[in-house]
Chains A and B, each alone.
Chain A
């Protein structure tokens, strides 16, 4: 029987407070170790806060965010995988990225494919898009990584990870702002995505206010039938899923 204990660390990050956000992430990693979680996930751009807007045009800001990720990697043992939203930089491009930290190192990096540019979002203003799915093989369990908007596309990287990468769990890290009725809509979408891909979905979302945006958390886990598993509400706390059977 494949099992995995997933911790969803729905933190309240503050834009620009790299040091404070890293402290909250470190605390989440500590708590994940205490409950012996196998995977702990933090929201999209948890290191910088979301949305960092034109801070992303400051190279020294990007550099500090990368340093923070390198330091956080040192906290992650062999018995834990931490997935953390940060800004990756490569050859003059920046990416909305997820760092996979394991055994003291950055073991993999995923780049977001779908960059929203509608409504309140401006991601094309800054980011280059990714074009490769990432699936982590943890012994007999496979975990596909995506970031926010990616999971809203039926044929996006989550599908590729489930079909070609054989992912049993699709882990999505998000910073998805609230509006009336969005929680129900989002939950239904994640259920459909799980069922279409025959994979469980774990979704961690940012919580807190940032200027005009309110992030509602409401992180959750659904099984491959799209049925809700024990989840968390919109308070800035860290909750833990029981061990998932995959």
Chain B
């Protein structure tokens, strides 16, 4: 049916028209002479991609355009053998082409053997350039330089962050020397809670997974293997407990709630601006919710110093979610 006929049959239009007094519309008549006859064109309707694929290709497009539109062609990624750096590397390869991506393993004193193996396997599966630059010697040199002033103090997060910062410095050196942009590998769960090292793993030019929660990282990584029809990211990377490997036996879950729980709380607190009380009422443990809220609020200063990265949720950090760093509104403190 033509629009005119539909309109004659539908009384809403006549009713509604009466209610538009005072609205302005200008009719512009153009001396239009259509070109005839019209050649045939192919009609098409694209099927929307499933959610995970849609996010994946949005990340690829965002990464590619960030580099190319700023006149860069190559990227470098620190490969830890973990899920985040593995996924970041796959996105970089789809965005830039494998000949434009370099993976760097930087084993340290607490790195496990499987980390180096998994990084190497990934690089081989992707066909990218792969470098191994051990950091243990550099780390020891730092400790020697600081030994006098640190005398008698037990090792703590200082020594952990030092390793992350050595890796950041090495990646930036490669960036300077070869013109490769450093892609950081932190995800939204880490960025939300501040579970990351400023000038360490956050050092770099573009944060590909900045707006991607850890649970979604796993789904995206599974999509990488699924779309390739083979194992690009080794199975072991999916199975091992996430760890920064900055001290013996360290795992993420010592400091963070399990990721499915953490991500659900973050979704409510960060994206939906729910109160601590509301989130507890949703059925989450109060101490956990308070702790997560505290971690989010007290790491705003870190997020302000992150590299930019593609927005894929309706509430990304940066322009989208603007909270003060200096902030005494502390719901997590209780009364």
Binding site for B on A (CB under 8 A): 1-2, 5, 12, 14, 33, 35-36, 38, 77-81, 100, 102-103, 107-108, 119-120, 131-139, 142, 144, 157, 159-161, 163-165, 168, 177-184, 196, 198-200, 207-214, 216, 224-225, 228-234, 239-243, 245-246
A-contact bits for B147-174, CB 8 A (1 contact / 0 none): 0000000000000000000000000000
Q: Which of the segments B2-10, B112-120, B194-202, B250-258 contacts the partner chain?
A: B2-10
Contact (Cβ within 8 A) B61 A208: yes
Complex CA gap A210/B310 in Å reads 9
Chain A residues lying within 8 Å of B24, measured Cβ to Cβ, are 131-133, 160
Q: Which of the segments B50-58, B76-84, B128-136, B176-184 contacts the partner chain?
A: B50-58
Chain B residues lying within 8 Å of A33, measured Cβ to Cβ, are 35
Number of interface residues of B (CB under 8 A): 60
Contact (Cβ within 8 A) B58 A178: yes
Task: For B33, give its contact among A2, A79, A225, A234 (CB under 8 Å).
Answer: A79
Binding site for A on B (CB under 8 A): 2-4, 6-7, 10, 12-13, 16-17, 20, 23-39, 41-46, 48, 51, 54-55, 57-59, 61-66, 69, 308-316, 318-320
Contact (Cβ within 8 A) B41 A242: yes
List 10 A-B pairs, Cβ < 8 Å. Answer: A35-B38, A80-B35, A81-B30, A133-B25, A157-B25, A159-B20, A178-B58, A183-B48, A198-B6, A230-B44
Q: When A and B form their complex, which 7 residue pairs have the shortest distance between CB atoms, in order from nearest?
A: A209-B65, A230-B43, A133-B25, A233-B46, A79-B35, A209-B62, A36-B35
Task: For A209, give its contact among B12, B20, B66, B315 (CB under 8 Å).
Answer: B66
Chain B residues lying within 8 Å of A79, measured Cβ to Cβ, are 32-35
Contact (Cβ within 8 A) B65 A208: yes
Contact (Cβ within 8 A) A164 B66: no
A137-B28, A160-B20, A181-B51 given; name 19 further pairs at CB < 8 Å. A5-B38, A14-B69, A102-B32, A120-B316, A133-B24, A135-B26, A137-B30, A138-B34, A161-B25, A163-B20, A164-B25, A168-B4, A177-B311, A198-B10, A208-B69, A209-B65, A209-B66, A214-B310, A224-B6
Chain B residues lying within 8 Å of A78, measured Cβ to Cβ, are 31-33
